[in-house]
Structure 1
Amino acid sequence: YVSVGFGFALVVAAWLFFRVTGALFNPNIATALLAIGVIGPLRWLLLVVAQLVGAVCATAVVQGLMPGQLQLTTVPSLGINKAQALFIEMFATTFLTFAVLMLGVEKHRTTPFAPIGVGITLFVCELWSIPLTGGAINTARAFGPAVLTGFDASHWIYWAGPTMGALLAAAVYVFAKRHRYWTLVPDQDSVDSEKSPTVPSLPLAHLSRVRPRSGTVGPRGQEDRNRQSGSAAPPRLNLDI
């Protein structure tokens, strides 16, 4: 339920702000964009500050609207050590950041639908990371609740892990770009039907073009088959009166 909520919320929010601010709600993804040169240091700083402040304000709003004490702080689950939590957060953020880079940063025919793909990616990442680490995959997501409820000793994981994951995704993206990944499967996003593969010839297609041999059909079939086998056709009876 929580994973579905995260995924759909990101789809809606990203689609609303996709053409306004780029829908950057994650300081780690902003760091990846800084690393590949899409944004400059000043914009990165402003984005990160806005995201962290927004996370604190959002936490305060949620706590004010919902009854009772909410457990919003992300901490590793029992049985998950700090190293495991670090790499879980790292790899989950890698997948999410790479989805943003390939669907939103790279411009192609499906770029306007990037919020859907990114939202689904977040849903999948949250689905397996929430039971293990709380599924922050976003430093701001961990920072906002921690400001109001207190910082846990493992809070550093949610700074280091997502940042490492975002930088790893940026490195993979640069590697793919430098090796011209689009040449591996050219015209993959083309809508030109002429670029579709041709239908291969069927092994038995030539049989439909072969004319039937004489004697295989028709009223003389039995006579022709007997002639080919060397036997005479049976005599016909004269029934004329």
Structure 2
Amino acid sequence: MGDRSFSERHSASNPFFGFFGPTKDAKTVSTLQGHLVAMSGEFVGTFMFLFLAYAGHTMVVDQSPLSGAGPNGTNSATTVVYISLAYGVALLVTVWTMYRISGGLFNPAVTFGLIITGNIPLVRGVLLLPVQIIASIIAAGIISAILPGSIRTVETTLTPTMSVAQGVFLEMFLTAIFILNILMLAAEKSKDTFVAPIGIGLTLFVCEIAGVFYTGASLNPARSFGPCVVGRNFQTYHWIYWIGPLLGALVAAGYYHFVKFFNYEDANPGQDSSGGQHGGS
């Protein structure tokens, strides 16, 4: 008989009730196992984020009496705020749930930004990219199947007054702001890191407010790709929702490398202090 009783070894507090062997110590977990667990976290997290966001977006458009009341049949300001809340809060709660498993990226542009800043290994990033895209397609597919109306409602599209070039640059700058926030709050560890999901969710919220009316505020190739696949409807300018966010990741990563190279901590010291002297003179 072992050191532990049957009930201890097979209690509900053990993964799979202890029938698949003891839980491994973190030091013994293989690199492959780590990648697989992170991939599962990205799949579940991306699905949760986009499922909630697409559902919220669909509800807002279907229920708002002001939907389509803007110029040329576009969404009104009120509708834009509610859509922005759906995406921002959905990201906040899902990142907070999943960041300990995979980092809570849920976005190929964010993944690219973390790769080129050295915050995740290249292999890990390459493995996460297809998982995020597949999860977005499945989220869009399930929303399409269980909610009335067309999934095309949640596609990212340019407002009639926006040119393709304008769309690319707006997506680039909004994504750069979003990813820089992630780099400084989450990738750069500080006493505030544990509440980084709040800052990340709020940043997406304000970026959505700025961009939903004009481009749909994708900031995430997977977010735009899933509904287009399920709705079988790709705009001729769909490529801007890949190029814009990826360029934004480069801009954010460039500034991140700049401040890291010049040791930004020395420019305004004491900001992570728990008390005593402040950073100012």
- Matching residue of 2:246: 163
- Partner amino acid, structure 2, of 1:60: G
- 1:172 equivalent to 2:255? Answer yes
- Matching residue of 1:236: none
C-alpha displacement of 1:197: 8.0
- Matching residue of 1:185: 268
Q: 1:132 to 1:197 in 2, by over 3 A?
A: closer
- 1:128 equivalent to 2:210? Answer yes
- Partner amino acid, structure 1, of 2:210: W
Q: Secondary structure at the match of 1:18?
A: helix
- Partner amino acid, structure 1, of 2:160: L
- 1:32 equivalent to 2:126? Answer no
In 2, distance between residues paired with 1:59 and 1:98? Answer: 28
- How many residues are aligned here? 198
C-alpha displacement of 1:184: 1.4
Counterparts of 1:84-103 in structure 2, within 5 Å, are 84-103=166-185
Q: Secondary structure at the match of 2:145?
A: helix
Question: Which deviates further from its counterpart, 54-63 or 35-44?
Answer: 35-44
Q: 1:36 to 1:196 in 2, by over 3 A?
A: closer
Indicate the percent of aligned positions where both proteins have the same amino acid. Answer: 39
- Partner amino acid, structure 1, of 2:191: R
Counterparts of 1:1-241 in structure 2, within 5 Å, are 1-70=82-151, 71-149=153-231, 150-192=233-275, 194-196=276-278
C-alpha displacement of 1:31: 0.3
C-alpha displacement of 1:113: 0.4
Q: 1:197 to 1:56 in 2, by over 3 A?
A: closer
Question: Which deviates further from its counterpart, 161-170 or 60-69?
Answer: 60-69
RMSD of aligned C-alpha atoms?
A: 1.5
The one of the two structures with greater contact order (alpha-carbon pairs below 8 A, sep at least 6) is 1
Q: 1:78 to 1:185 in 2, by over 3 A?
A: same
- Partner amino acid, structure 2, of 1:181: Y
Report if aligned partners of 2:268, 2:279 keep a CA contact under 8 Å in 1.
no
- Matching residue of 1:217: none
Q: Secondary structure at the match of 1:185?
A: coil
- Partner amino acid, structure 2, of 1:97: I
Report if aligned partners of 2:271, 2:278 keep a CA contact under 8 Å in 1.
no
In 2, distance between residues paired with 1:56 and 1:197? Answer: 47
Report if aligned partners of 2:269, 2:279 keep a CA contact under 8 Å in 1.
no
TM-score normalised by length of structure 1: 0.79
Structure 1: which 5+ runs fail to align? 201-241
In 2, distance between residues paired with 1:40 and 1:8? Answer: 28
More helix by share: 2
Structure 2: which 5+ runs fail to align? 1-81
Moved over 3 A (4+): none
- Matching residue of 1:213: none
In 2, distance between residues paired with 1:168 and 1:7? Answer: 22
TM-score normalised by length of structure 2: 0.68
C-alpha displacement of 1:69: 1.9
Deviations, residues 54-96 of structure 1 (Å, cap 9, x unaligned): 0000001111121122412211110100000000000010011
C-alpha displacement of 1:195: 1.4
Q: 1:196 to 1:152 in 2, by over 3 A?
A: closer
